[in-house]
Structure 1
Amino acid sequence: MTTRISLLALLLTAASTLLPVSARALDVPKGDVILTVTGRLDHPNADGKAQFDLPMLEALAGRSGEMETPWTEGRLTFSGPLLRSVLTAAGAHGTKVKLTALNDYSAELPMEDATDLDTMLATRMNGAVMSVRDKGPLFLIYPFDEKPELMNEKYFSRSVWQIRDIEVTE
């Protein structure tokens, strides 16, 4: 009987490692919280919210891209988790995403900007963690390097920096 229970526990543990991130509970941040996701979430980790510290964000699927932006000088390399990875980890579901900065500036974007484009929440610029002074801790970067057609006012106005909160609605 003990062998069967041990075998069952081993099988359940192995199966849980095969589950996609979206089916797992979200860990609790161990460091300073730099992002809070609210709204329609299936995987909150703190009073109905999903909170992330830097290591949690940087452990998610992400990208890196070298590009010019209207807000920086020259070609810089930005890297960080894909917005869709963050939303998936939080179990977010909805049609709109509202990003709010430290100074309360906010922009609303359709969920398709997260699901259909490789938008990233940049945590690093040229390999260094982004400080508040340098548009950090998080800067929504559209894939301007892969899709030059995104270099227009529509996407510029959605490119929030110094992000502290994301709200998922509808």
Structure 2
Amino acid sequence: MIVLAAPKAIAESPLLTLTGAVDGGQVEISRSDLDALEWHEIVTSTTVTDGRPLFRGVLMRDILVLAGARGEMVTARALNDYVIDIPVSDFHELDVIAALYMDGTALTPRDKGPVWIVYPRDDHAVLADIRYDMRWVWQLVALHVQ
């Protein structure tokens, strides 16, 4: 799989900040940190897009490992201050990704990016439940691990 490199300034700017039960109490994850991880793709329907887009990004569990996270719950916060608690078990039991691309186009804040938590909705019937739909955090900027 080809991963497009981001310009240097963008690659080094923090995309996600993890706080709480992580190494040193706070870890900033940049695009270059994500580029160093294994990338994954999910083709799935969503409640906010047409058809079944192709999402590309890194596994949420890999981000937690990178940050040295130790906890059972993360509080995800979006750019617009949307906040929701997500069990860490979601990330270990399901291939949930931090998507940076949809249908080959980099996500921006105008279209739910730059990071969007995406569940493999079409692969598991339980994920059609609205409780999971609320965990699809777009414009993700922070995770607090507890």
Q: Shorter-chain TM-score: what band?
A: 0.7 to 0.9
Residue 36 of structure 1 contacts residue 52 of structure 1 at CA under 8 Å; is this kept in 2? yes
Q: Which runs of 5+ in 1 are unaligned?
A: 1-28
Distance, in Å, in 1 between the alignment partners of 2:123 and 2:32 is 26
Match for 2:118 among 138, 141, 152?
Answer: 141
TM-score (norm 1): 0.76
User: Could you say which structure has the larger radius of gyration?
Assistant: 1
1:51 alignment counterpart: 28
1:160 aligns with 2:137: yes
Residue 62 of structure 1 contacts residue 85 of structure 1 at CA under 8 Å; is this kept in 2? no
- Tell me the C-alpha RMSD between the 2 structures: 1.5
Equivalent pairs: percent with the same residue? Answer: 36
2:54 alignment counterpart: 77
TM-score (norm 2): 0.87
SS in 2 for 1:123: strand
Letter in 1 for 2:54: T
SS in 2 for 1:165: strand
Residue 43 of structure 2 contacts residue 120 of structure 2 at CA under 8 Å; is this kept in 1? no
More relative contact order in 1 or in 2 (CA 8 Å, sep 6+)? 2
2:80 alignment counterpart: 103
Q: How many residues align?
A: 137
Distance, in Å, in 2 between the alignment partners of 1:105 and 1:99 is 8
Q: Which runs of 5+ in 2 are unaligned?
A: 1-9
